[in-house]
Amino acid sequence: MQLLDPAAAMDPDWPLHGMADDMRPALAQALARGPAALATIVALGEGGPRPVGTQMVFGQTPSGTDSRAGFLSGGCIEADVEDHARACLADGQPRRLVYGEGSPWPDIRLLCGARIEILVERLDPDDAAARDLLAHAQARVAATWISDGRRRVCAPDPGAAWAGAFSRRFDPTPRLVVLGGDPTALAVASLGVQSGFETTLVRPKGPLAPPPLPGVAYRRDAVATALDAIGLDAWTAVAICGHDLEIDHAALAAALPSPAPYVGLLGARRRLGERLDRLRAAGLSERDLAKLRAPIGLDLGGKAPFEVAVAVIGEIMATRHGQPALARRTVGA
């Protein structure tokens, strides 16, 4: 995922540091420069704008000024959490912060009426659990982080959390593979990377120069070769926007039997039957075909490139978060 420029992220008027949700890249950057403080929402009462497990990272920029990444509320508590995080960095002692009901700081009001409990802990560059967290992320392996602020562990199966510890699962960063090269494919890829997906555009025999889309990787080799090199795992979505029957077929034949949970196809519904018949003839099962979302995207009514992109990214997120009411374009639905 593309990281924001540290100087821009420090602008107090525009909290760009809160645009990213996954704090692992920010944590890796902070630990590369020294100790970091990790603040995690460990409990909520009466709702709240951010879920349990939401995090912020506090460290330093390369120039030695304070850095921050993430956000925990709508701006009600971030400044106070940062004060405690800087103190934690200084003395190494973890903090349990409570805002809202039962808080020792009644002057800090939460407009949402929530009760938020936050664990702040100092992580040093040689912290074993932090190293394991980042290594599992690099290897695209799901892992669980358990910490009470003083003792911590991170592993794919670390066992049950001990008394007073908080447990959070970290999945690999979601990925998006977009096939095609027209404006719609470019819009889907562009919105994908802005939405936090590690995004790759695949355009077989496409131009030598990559698309001018910040953060989007590019491959121009054959479909099967490209998808095999990328690796279609359980955290990868595939959006086929190629407008080429042979490329579309090769992509479907590779993606539908894979662990990828989302495979969408751009194209007319009237041609879908013959495409499915060809895939059956190639040996794909009905279970494979049932994964296909065609026509691609939520039915939002728009057909302009970024309107389609919003529909596609929305459908991928609905699938990822288990929203069955929105997952209505599966084959046979």
Pairwise CA distance, residues 178 & 187, whole Å: 10
**DSSP codes, 62-79:** TTS-EEEE--SSSSSSHH
Give the pLDDT score at 207. Answer: 97
Give the pLDDT score at 325. Answer: 53
**Is the CB of residue 166 less than 8 Å from the CB of residue 202?**
no
Give the pLDDT score at 109. Answer: 66
Q: Which CATH number fits the domain 175-320, given the four candidates 3.40.50.720, 3.30.530.20, 1.20.120.430, 3.50.50.60? A: 3.40.50.720
Give the pLDDT score at 326. Answer: 59
The strands making up 166-170's β-sheet, listed across from edge to edge, are 152-155, 143-147, 166-170
Closest C-alpha among 231, 206, 237 to residue 219 = 206
Pairwise CA distance, residues 109 & 99, whole Å: 8
Pairwise CA distance, residues 221 & 233, whole Å: 20
- How many residues in total does the chain contain? 333
Write down the domain spans for the chain.
Answer: 6-126, 175-320
Task: Kindly give the confidence (pLDDT) of every residue in the chain, 333 residues in length, as a single tens digit, with 9 standing for 90 and above.
Answer: 333 444 444 456 788 888 889 999 999 999 999 999 999 999 998 777 889 999 999 999 888 899 999 999 877 788 899 999 999 999 999 999 998 776 677 656 666 667 889 999 999 999 999 999 999 999 999 999 999 999 999 999 999 999 999 999 999 999 999 999 999 999 999 999 999 999 999 999 999 999 999 999 999 999 999 999 999 999 999 999 988 999 999 999 999 999 999 999 998 888 899 999 999 999 999 999 999 999 999 999 999 999 999 999 999 999 998 876 555 455 544
Give the pLDDT score at 106. Answer: 67
Give the pLDDT score at 64. Answer: 85
Interacting residues of 196 by C-beta distance below 8 A, sequence separation 6+: 1, 20, 21, 22, 173, 174
CA 99 to chain centre: 27
Give the pLDDT score at 11. Answer: 52
Closest C-alpha among 209, 215, 210, 263 to residue 241 = 263
Give the pLDDT score at 330. Answer: 52
The strands making up 66-69's β-sheet, listed across from edge to edge, are 66-69, 55-60, 36-45, 115-123, 95-99
Query: N- to C-terminal Cα distance for the chain?
Result: 34
Give the pLDDT score at 331. Answer: 55
Give the pLDDT score at 84. Answer: 96
Give the pLDDT score at 322. Answer: 84
